[in-house]
Copies of this chain bind each other. A is one copy, B any other.
């Protein structure tokens, strides 16, 4: 089933201990769409500027991603500059040029309206809410956010949370959003805000899914959390987009399955880790452009091998 994703398509200039790249294709929606494209049909809503060339769009269309919802606007594409020079665990933002993103008004093409899965990538919650409202009949809504919206746009964010089935955030964001320092308490508080499932990403330590009582029928038996590992990787080239790639693998797999059973949710958590582990192997979206299905299956087995008793 098709996923509609709204979020940023951007250019990233990144410095890591492995080197640096200038204006490589990035953005949350890009990473998400590429990762999810290995599992299901993906449709993107975003805005780009005049510097977004056919070769950039080709990265997406080569993966079968529907780009008809990517609007062209006068000006330059959203540009993020960041450095992981100090630590690969946290990006230091050196610059955020919103450019055409500043006046972004998401429009949903007619052809996208039958999308059954909606992913609200990390953008202004006001925009997330508008897209959600235009897609009232989707089967599932999953969203992401970040510390900036949690701290300074809390009321708007809370409105969006009420509309979410699944929220994917990291440890710090879950604790910040809830005001709790204990992860389980934080998760329970966040789920009271709306999401029936909360996936907390722990970076190099994997991710935990929490399920509340109001969870999907299929997931109801998962009253206990579920923990998926991350692959220990010696050479992380560029962590940018790892979380979005996790989301793409997770949600892409979910959308590809006829039924949402506990087993499907567990597999989705593993596929999230798998796609995240590919993403960091190269700069930007390079690795996600050319993973094979065999490599995905092989890595899924590896995740199983490093975490299962027998």
Distance of A42 from chain B, by nearest CB (Å)? 25
Residue numbers in B under 8 Å from A294 (CB-CB):
none
Interface centre among A204, A208, A227, A266 (most CB of B within 10 A): A227
A202 within 8 A of B: yes
Interface centre among A204, A210, A263, A305 (most CB of B within 10 A): A204
How distant is the Cα of A290 from the Cα of B202 in the complex, in angstroms? 33
Please determine whether A185 and B227 come into contact, CB atoms closer than 8 angstroms. no
How distant is the Cα of A221 from the Cα of B230 in the complex, in angstroms? 20
Residue numbers in B under 8 Å from A226 (CB-CB):
306-307
Distance of A174 from chain B, by nearest CB (Å)? 12
How distant is the Cα of A227 from the Cα of B307 in the complex, in angstroms? 5
Q: Determine the residue in chain B with the shortest Cβ distance to A181.
A: B87
Please determine whether B88 and A266 come into contact, CB atoms closer than 8 angstroms. no
* Size range of the chain A interface in the assembly: 35 or more
Q: Determine the residue in chain B with the shortest Cβ distance to A227.
A: B229
Partner of A225 from the list B88, B227, B306, B310 (CB cut-off 8 Å) is B306
A270 within 8 A of B: yes
Residue numbers in B under 8 Å from A184 (CB-CB):
232-234
How distant is the Cα of A187 from the Cα of B204 in the complex, in angstroms? 14
Residue numbers in B under 8 Å from A67 (CB-CB):
none
Residue numbers in B under 8 Å from A310 (CB-CB):
263, 266
Partner of A232 from the list B208, B232, B270 (CB cut-off 8 Å) is B208
Show the binding face of A for B, using Cβ within 8 Å: 87-88, 181-185, 187-188, 202, 204-206, 208, 210, 224-230, 232-236, 263, 266-267, 270, 302, 304-310
14 interchain pairs, CB-CB under 8 A = A182-B233, A182-B234, A182-B235, A184-B234, A202-B205, A206-B206, A208-B232, A210-B232, A227-B229, A227-B232, A263-B309, A263-B310, A267-B309, A270-B309
